[in-house]
């Protein structure tokens, strides 16, 4: 993915990027930019991400993949021209969405509220949280391809920036300034993983800052806490622009 992005900026004649910014899978791509093209960026902002997936993170993705592949309509990926595996993909999205939230955010949003149209013991969506997850799953299949889901989740599971390297060497030669953002309630990408990124930067002599944001939204915080992120990233980018001495970056 990052190699493709590099080809694009070369094609556009962009010599150096002011910043690469992204959260979650986007943050993984930011880390790859930092490691692979350290001379092509002035700054980087990895958000709620990791140097490599833990067994638990891989496990959640594998359950989602199995949900897709167990759907008879998946047809070993050859479902184009046929009915797509919507039930499996919807279930995968429901599983994933649980990991994006937090216990607190789910309690605040749903509590134990029941639906007006509930049918006790009929295995319908009696609780608001059940209806919400089903809605999320059904809506996801309208805009996402099942095979794309499989490949994307496998790609992030296979990502390992360490890959046998010492922590102090992965960002060696990186002259960019780095701001790492994490969220206290994020249990899918817990804060210690972001702190490990900061440690790797510091060991390599990289100018890195770390900010841990208080939020109850879980992993979804990086999509919802836009005001705080705007303030932090905006101030950071101003310092990068002033420090670079060049106002013509992209």
Between 2.40.30.20, 1.10.1740.110, 2.40.30.10, 1.10.10.10, what CATH number should domain 57-157 receive? 1.10.1740.110
Backbone angles phi, psi at 190, to 5 degrees: -60, 160
- Point out the catalytic residue in the list 102, 186, 194, 221: 186
Is residue 77 within 8 A of residue 195, CB to CB? The reply is no
Three-state secondary structure call for residue 210: strand
> Which is nearest to 38 in space by CA: 135, 214, 178?
178
Task: Return the pLDDT at 248.
Answer: 45
Domain 2-52+160-244 homologous superfamily, CATH: Alpha/Beta hydrolase fold, catalytic domain (3.40.50.1820)
Domain spans, the chain: 2-52+160-244, 57-157
* Catalytic residue flag (residue 185): no
End-to-end CA distance of the chain: 19
219 is catalytic: yes
Spatial distance between the Cα atoms of 93 and 97, rounded to a whole number of angstroms: 6
Pick from 197, 208, 206: nearest CA to 162: 197
pLDDT at 247: 46
Residue 115 reports pLDDT greater than 90: no
| Catalytic residue of the set 24, 102, 105, 194 | 24
Instruction: Please confirm, yes or no, whether 220 is among the known catalytic residues.
Output: no
What percent of the residues of the chain are helix, what percent strand, and what percent coil, each to the nearest 5?
55, 10, 35
The strand order across the sheet containing 20-23 reads 20-23, 43-47, 177-183, 208-213
> What 3-state class would DSSP assign to 41?
strand
Catalytic position from the list 71, 219, 220, 221? 219
Q: For residue 249, what are its two tokens? A: 């970056």
- Model confidence pLDDT, tens digit, residues 191-249: 999 999 999 999 999 999 999 999 999 999 999 999 999 999 999 999 999 876 554 44
């Amino acid at each position: 993915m990052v190699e493709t992005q590099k080809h694009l900026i070369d094609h556009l004649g962009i010599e150096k990027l002011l910043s690469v910014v992204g959260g979650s899978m986007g943050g993984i791509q930011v880390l790859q930019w930092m490691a692979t093209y350290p001379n092509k960026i002035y700054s980087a902002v990895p958000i709620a991400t990791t140097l490599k997936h833990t067994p638990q993170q891989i496990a959640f993705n594998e359950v989602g993949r199995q949900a897709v592949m167990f759907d008879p309509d998946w047809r070993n990926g050859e479902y184009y021209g046929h009915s797509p595996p919507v039930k499996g993909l919807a279930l995968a999205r429901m599983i994933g969405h649980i990991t994006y939230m937090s216990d607190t955010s789910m309690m605040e949003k749903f509590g134990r509220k029941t639906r007006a149209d509930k049918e006790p013991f009929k295995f319908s969506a009696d609780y608001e949280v059940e209806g919400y997850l089903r809605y999320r799953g059904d809506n996801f299949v309208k805009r996402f391809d099942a095979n794309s889901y499989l490949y994307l989740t496998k790609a992030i599971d296979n990502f390992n920036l360490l890959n046998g390297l010492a922590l102090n060497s992965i960002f060696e030669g990186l002259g960019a300034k780095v701001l790492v953002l994490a969220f206290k309630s994020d249990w899918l990408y817990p804060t210690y993983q972001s702190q490990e990124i900061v440690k790797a930067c510091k060991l390599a002599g990289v100018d890195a800052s770390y900010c841990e944001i208080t939020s109850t939204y879980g992993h979804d915080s990086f999509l919802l806490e836009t005001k705080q992120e705007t303030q932090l990233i905006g101030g950071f980018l101003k310092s990068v622009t002033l420090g670079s001495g060049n106002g013509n970056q992209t």
